[in-house]
């Protein structure tokens, strides 16, 4: 496989990487300074994010009927959201969230802007452009999850099960990275990839990601 797609992914991740000091929430968890109530809000927001992203990724996979590499990438993402949903419950319990509160919770607009934009991409972006944008954002998300998991264990005494949601996203995803590279390579070969648009999508995703964390603070 040509190095072109790998280089493009690497460059996009690097250029869209956020300022390490821009996220106010993750350092508080990593240092044990976040209240348990704030962690509960994070859990409740993710309870809304996961099913929305799951449906959006399935829709992108369906739209990528003529782009099998991109379809495979989004199918894997959708499957990952299912696994994440299974792991979120233990985190919610550790944060003291019960069924009654979960049903009554009103999500924060700033936190739900990210999944709303993922849904927008599912409807409007070409699947290959969305692959590049989402892959760049996932690198940031995985780093945040690793720091949160460490903080939960060190300062809050959370069990491995309670940290499983964050561990899942923090783990290296080599197979997914390979699928992303194959999808971008196919997009370059066929002319379906619009790198300027993909970059714009990725920049907006990073902004909405930042909005998610600042809304929790």
The residue ranges of every structural domain in the chain are 3-216
Q: Indicate the DSSP class of residue 163.
A: T
C-alpha to C-alpha distance for 163 and 191, rounded to whole angstroms:
42
Retrieve residue 66's tokens.
């003529």
Looking at residue 172, its pLDDT comes to 86
C-alpha to C-alpha distance for 87 and 94, rounded to whole angstroms:
12
- Could you tell me which CATH number the domain at 3-216 has? 1.20.910.10
Retrieve residue 35's tokens.
């209240």
C-alpha to C-alpha distance for 57 and 34, rounded to whole angstroms:
31
C-alpha to C-alpha distance for 144 and 73, rounded to whole angstroms:
22
For helices 36-63 and 195-216, the axis angle rounded to 10 degrees is 160
How many other C-beta atoms are found inside a 10 Å radius of the C-beta of residue 183? 29
pTM above 0.85, yes or no: yes
Looking at residue 137, its pLDDT comes to 86
pLDDT tens across the length of the chain (217 residues): 445 899 999 999 999 988 877 899 999 999 999 999 999 999 999 999 999 999 999 999 999 999 999 999 999 999 999 999 999 999 999 999 999 999 999 999 999 999 999 999 999 999 999 999 999 888 889 999 999 999 999 999 999 999 999 999 999 889 999 999 999 999 999 999 999 999 999 999 999 999 999 999 7
Looking at residue 140, its pLDDT comes to 86
Looking at residue 3, its pLDDT comes to 57
Looking at residue 50, its pLDDT comes to 98
């Amino acid at each position: 496989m040509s190095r072109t797609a790998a280089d493009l992914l690497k460059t996009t991740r690097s250029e869209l990487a956020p300022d390490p000091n821009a996220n106010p929430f993750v350092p508080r968890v990593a240092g044990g300074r976040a209240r348990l109530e704030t962690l509960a809000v994070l859990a409740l927001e993710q309870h809304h994010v996961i099913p929305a992203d799951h449906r959006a990724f399935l829709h992108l996979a369906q739209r990528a009927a003529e782009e099998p590499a991109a379809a495979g990438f989004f199918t894997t993402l959708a499957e990952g959201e299912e696994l994440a949903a299974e792991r979120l419950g233990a985190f919610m319990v550790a944060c003291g969230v019960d069924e009654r509160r979960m049903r009554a919770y009103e999500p924060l607009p700033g936190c739900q802007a990210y999944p709303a934009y993922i849904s927008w991409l599912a409807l409007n972006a070409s699947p290959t452009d969305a692959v590049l944008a989402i892959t760049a954002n996932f690198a940031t998300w995985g780093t945040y999850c690793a720091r949160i998991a460490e903080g939960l264990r060190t300062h809050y005494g959370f069990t491995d099960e309670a940290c499983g949601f964050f561990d899942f996203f923090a783990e290296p995803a080599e197979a997914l990275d390979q699928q992303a590279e194959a999808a971008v390579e196919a997009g370059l070969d066929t002319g379906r990839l619009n790198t300027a648009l993909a970059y714009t999508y990725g920049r907006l995703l990073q902004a909405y990601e930042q909005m998610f964390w600042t809304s929790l603070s």
